[in-house]
Amino acid sequence: MEAVVQRSYPAPTERPERLFSDLTPETSRDFDALKSVVTCPKGSILFREGQPARGIFVLCDGRAKLSVCSESGKRMTFRIAGPGEILGLSATLAGSQHEITAELLDNAHVATVRRKDLLGFLHEHREACLQVVNLLSEDLHIAYDRVRSLGLGRSRRSRAPRVQ
Amino acid sequence: MLSPYGLDIIESCLTCKTRSERLFCDLPGAALQTFESIKYATAYPKGAVLFVEGQAPRGIFVLCKGRVKMSICATDGKTLIVKIAEPGEVLGLSATVSGKPYELTAETVDPCQVNFVKRDDFLRFLKEHSDACFKVAEQLSEKYNNACHEVRSLGLSHSAGEKLAKLLLEWSSKNGEASKQEPRLKLALTHEEIAQMIGTSRETVTRLFADLKKRQIIQTKGSTLVIRNKPALKSIAANN
């Protein structure tokens, strides 16, 4: 059953960059000090659409399904996030509500960083701030790609396998 | 100074009266001085194309006055309008930051004033001013929120009627109309452009408007649309 469930989701969107991969050792150490790593079982909801953002979640391993929901309760998968990805970054930086729901598809280690700590870190480390801007840009590119495929039926990137 | 397009050009960001109301523009002193030195103020007429989807990014365009239509286009010519950008928005931001091609086409729907900043200058500006970096992050977050909203609307709305109702409710929630029982909005787009926003045809939009008027859910007076029956419109938007 689990193997069937795993095959029914498309592969995670390609995200080769790691979070803050080009920081100085000292800055990396400062960031690591902010993280709390927890083990979460498959099916855990990391955050829900509409919930106020309290911090970011870094997928150390495993996958997460990112989805959106209509008022009538219909749910649609936005994309599948893979290891190394940061979830909830946009809402956390803006101090707004999460735009999507994130649910783990596998048992996973997840590192959390509280919003207050993240903002303090970014204010102190300029180079990290720029990397965050780059990550947000990439998130936006992926979102527009999804808009394109839904609205026009095509994608600039190779189309992910259809969810069965 | 007046431009040929009837615009009252804002020469300097330092003296701009609306700067404090706009997310990106409200930069602290040193960052603002630097931005002032790297920007080029330009005026465009209606219908001008600032950049095209797929083009290599040359830089950002800060919209000072007017509105810009942001769209994506299929190879068969079908167009989807993703957003109408308002003054204060930074256009071409994610492409300029990432170096990837512009994701959308930007075309002015009014005469516009735009502050253009070359890519290299902008990236250097972000490296030197972390406050500006935060402002950019906020803008990108807002755009991401809008894109998720668009995904929800396109992917989860059944019918064109549902999408049109949602769009009208969204427009009516701006400019202090949200709390009114019969909110008003200015219909600044043609039926064709509204069709491009919700992914349907002009004929369908015209038919839907006629139907809403017949059912007295909306009323039009020139370019002003009044929502007479907001609960009914919300019901259509929720596919009830």
The answer to whether B97 faces chain A, any CB pair under 8 Å, is yes
- Show residues of chain B in contact with A78, CB under 8 Å: 148, 151
- For A102-138, the pLDDT digits (tens) are 999 999 999 999 999 999 998 888 888 888 888 898 8
- For B133-160, the pLDDT digits (tens) are 888 988 898 888 888 888 888 887 778 9
Using CB atoms, which residue from A94, A122, A138 is nearest to B98? A138
Residue B212 and residue B194: Cα distance in Å, rounded? Answer: 15
* pLDDT > 60? residue A155: no
Q: Which of B2-16, B19-33, B71-85 has the lowest mean pLDDT?
A: B2-16
Q: Which of A133-137, A153-157, B181-185, B228-232 has the lowest mean pLDDT?
A: A153-157
In this predicted structure, what is the pLDDT of residue A14?
A: 46
Strands of the sheet with B68-73, listed across from one edge: B49-51, B105-108, B68-73, B79-85
Count of all residues that appear for chain A in the document = 164
The answer to whether A67 faces chain B, any CB pair under 8 Å, is no
The answer to whether A138 faces chain B, any CB pair under 8 Å, is yes
B191 burial level (CB within 10 Å; 0-12, 13-18, 19+): middle
Task: Return the half-sphere exposure (C-beta side, CA atoms, 13 A cut-off) of residue B227.
Answer: 28
Mean pLDDT value of segment A42-55: 95
Q: Do B147 and A143 touch (CB under 8 A)?
A: yes
Concatenated DSSP letters of A69-138: E-TTS-EEEEEEE-TT-EESHHHHHHT-B-SSEEEESS-EEEEEEEHHHHHHHHHH-HHHHHHHHHHHHH
Judged by DSSP in three states, B124 sits in helix
Gap from A109 CA to chain B (nearest CA, Å): 26
Buried b / exposed e over B19-33, threshold 16 CB at 10 Å, is beebebbebeeebbe
* pLDDT > 50? residue B2: yes
Q: Which residue of B has its CA nearest to A154?
A: B74
Q: Which of A50-59, A73-82, A85-94, B49-58 has the lowest mean pLDDT?
A: A73-82
B43 confidence band (pLDDT: 50, 70, 90) = very high
- Show residues of chain A in contact with B135, CB under 8 Å: none
Mean pLDDT value of segment B26-32: 85
Mean pLDDT value of segment B32-45: 92
- For A62-117, the pLDDT digits (tens) are 999 999 887 777 888 888 999 989 999 999 998 999 999 999 999 999 999 999 99
A11 confidence band (pLDDT: 50, 70, 90) = low
ipTM of the complex: 0.77
Phi, psi of A87, deg, nearest 5: -115, 145
Q: Which residue of A has its CA nearest to B122?
A: A130
A50 confidence band (pLDDT: 50, 70, 90) = very high
Residues 1-60 of A with CB under 8 A from B: none
Q: Do B144 and A126 touch (CB under 8 A)?
A: no
Residue A150 and residue B100: Cα distance in Å, rounded? Answer: 21
Q: Count CB atoms within 10 A of the CB of residue A16.
A: 6
Q: Do A136 and B141 touch (CB under 8 A)?
A: yes
* Beta strands per DSSP E along B86-180: 90-91, 105-108, 112-118
- Distance separating the N- and C-terminal Cα atoms of chain A: 14
In this predicted structure, what is the pLDDT of residue A15?
A: 46
In this predicted structure, what is the pLDDT of residue B179?
A: 80
- Show residues of chain B in contact with A144, CB under 8 Å: 72, 82, 103-104, 147
In this predicted structure, what is the pLDDT of residue A12?
A: 58
The answer to whether B31 faces chain A, any CB pair under 8 Å, is no
Residue B40 and residue A103: Cα distance in Å, rounded? Answer: 45
Phi, psi of B154, deg, nearest 5: -70, -40
Which is more confident, B114 or B170? Answer: B114
What is the pLDDT of chain A when averaged over all its residues?
81
What are the tokens at B108? 């002015």
In this predicted structure, what is the pLDDT of residue A161?
A: 40
In this predicted structure, what is the pLDDT of residue A157?
A: 42
In this predicted structure, what is the pLDDT of residue A56?
A: 95
Task: Return the half-sphere exposure (C-beta side, CA atoms, 13 A cut-off) of residue A143.
Answer: 27
Residue B220 and residue A76: Cα distance in Å, rounded? Answer: 35
Q: Comparing C-alpha atoms, which of A105, A113, A125, A106 is closest to residue A87?
A: A113
CATH of A26-151, one of 2.60.120.10, 1.20.272.10, 2.50.20.10, 1.10.260.40: 2.60.120.10
- Show residues of chain B in contact with A151, CB under 8 Å: 72, 80, 82, 150, 154, 199
Gap from B4 CA to chain A (nearest CA, Å): 35
Share of chain B above pLDDT 90, in %: 48
In this predicted structure, what is the pLDDT of residue A21?
A: 64
* pTM (predicted TM-score): 0.81
For residue B148, give every residue at least 6 positions away whose Cβ sits within 8 Å of its Cβ, in sequence order, or none: A68, A78, A99, A100, A143
Give the residue extent of every domain in chain A: 26-151
A55 confidence band (pLDDT: 50, 70, 90) = very high
A16 confidence band (pLDDT: 50, 70, 90) = very low
DSSP state of A155: -
- Domains of chain B (ranges plus CATH)? 13-156 (2.60.120.10), 160-237 (1.10.10.10)
